[in-house]
Amino acid sequence: MKIKALLLSLLTISPFTSACAKIMAHDVYARATPPSAETSALFGHFMNHSDKDRYIVSAETKAAGKVELHDVIMDGEVMKMRQVEKIKIPANGSVTLKPGSLHIMLFNLEKPLAEGNTIPVKITFANGETQELEAPIKKVMSGMKHEHHH
């Protein structure tokens, strides 16, 4: 009984219990690539459970030589990717990185991304916090479509 009580008190005073859950990453995944591709992208949903705006400022993975934060803009009728400095996760809100929109771009892939595998990803926020996660590799049908077909 005494040990249990001690453990419980350790848990409650841990400084990590509250700070950790402020940004929650959901369904982060990487786009599967054909064998010759050298680029891919990471998508996912980030929730901000704090009352301050938060920003993703960089990401890294050993699966890619270079990683950039990207947005997609309309240039006339052409969709173009452009690099952005940061991705905002609004206070008490969320941001979705998805095909045809914000994404984390992967360049110089070490090897093609095969569906079913995972890659380790480290995301850095503007306040210096980092979050590490394993992103599963999934097939993405098209970069520009938003509808779901069944």
Site of interaction with Cu ion (CB under 5 A): 70, 81, 105
Virtual torsion, Cα 104, 110, 115, 121, nearest 10 deg:
-40
Shortest spacing between CB 71 and Cu ion, in angstroms: 8
Shortest spacing between CB 35 and Cu ion, in angstroms: 20
In the bound state with Cu ion, the residue whose beta carbon lies nearer, of 50 and 101, is 101
In the bound state with Cu ion, the residue whose beta carbon lies nearer, of 105 and 133, is 105
Shortest spacing between CB 55 and Cu ion, in angstroms: 18
Q: Which tokens in the block code for residue 45?
A: 């949903």
In the bound state with Cu ion, the residue whose beta carbon lies nearer, of 23 and 102, is 102
- Yes or no: say if 63 and 117 are a contact pair by the CB < 8 Å rule: no
- Yes or no: say if 59 and 122 are a contact pair by the CB < 8 Å rule: yes
Environment class of 106 (CB within 10 Å of its CB; exposed 0-12, middle 13-18, buried 19+): buried
Q: Torsion-angle region of residue 14: left (phi > 0), alpha (psi -120 to 50) or beta?
A: beta
Shortest spacing between CB 89 and Cu ion, in angstroms: 19
In the bound state with Cu ion, the residue whose beta carbon lies nearer, of 90 and 100, is 100
Q: Which tokens in the block code for residue 98?
A: 């998805």
Shortest spacing between CB 42 and Cu ion, in angstroms: 10
According to DSSP, the β-strands at 54-60 and 103-109 are unpaired
In the bound state with Cu ion, the residue whose beta carbon lies nearer, of 24 and 105, is 105
